Amino acid sequence: MAEEQSSQIQVKVTFPASPKHPYEAKDSPQTTVGQVLTAAMSHFEVHDDTQFNFVLSYEGERKDPATTIGSLADHSDEIRFTLIKVITSG
């Protein structure tokens, strides 16, 4: 049981444009950035539309939604993202 718990990664997503507290969860290392993005967007009550979309930034870089949080955390038990609103050109 303790082994299972230690394999969880504490995820925290901040969204500076929102007055809400950060999104926090404990997820498995196999959880994708896309899954975290979906959960964080739900938490902050935002959604993509024709003028903009949302992405997660980790250490100042946008991350591919298919990337697992375990590959980013690199043996850490915590990972922090920032939710960013990106204006779409068109």
What pLDDT was estimated at residue 28? 95
Place of tokens 């902050």: 44
User: Which CATH class name applies to 2-87?
Assistant: alpha beta
Domain boundaries, the chain: 2-87
d(CA 7, CA 84): 28
* Model confidence, pTM: 0.89
How much is the pLDDT for 6? Answer: 53
pLDDT in tens, the chain (90 residues): 333 445 899 999 999 999 999 999 999 999 999 999 999 999 999 999 999 999 999 999 999 999 999 999 987 899 999 999 999 876
pLDDT at residue 90, rounded to an integer? 61
Q: Are 81 and 11 in contact (CB under 8 A)?
A: yes
Q: What is the pLDDT of residue 4?
A: 43
Burial class (CB in 10 A: 0-12, 13-18, 19+), 42: exposed
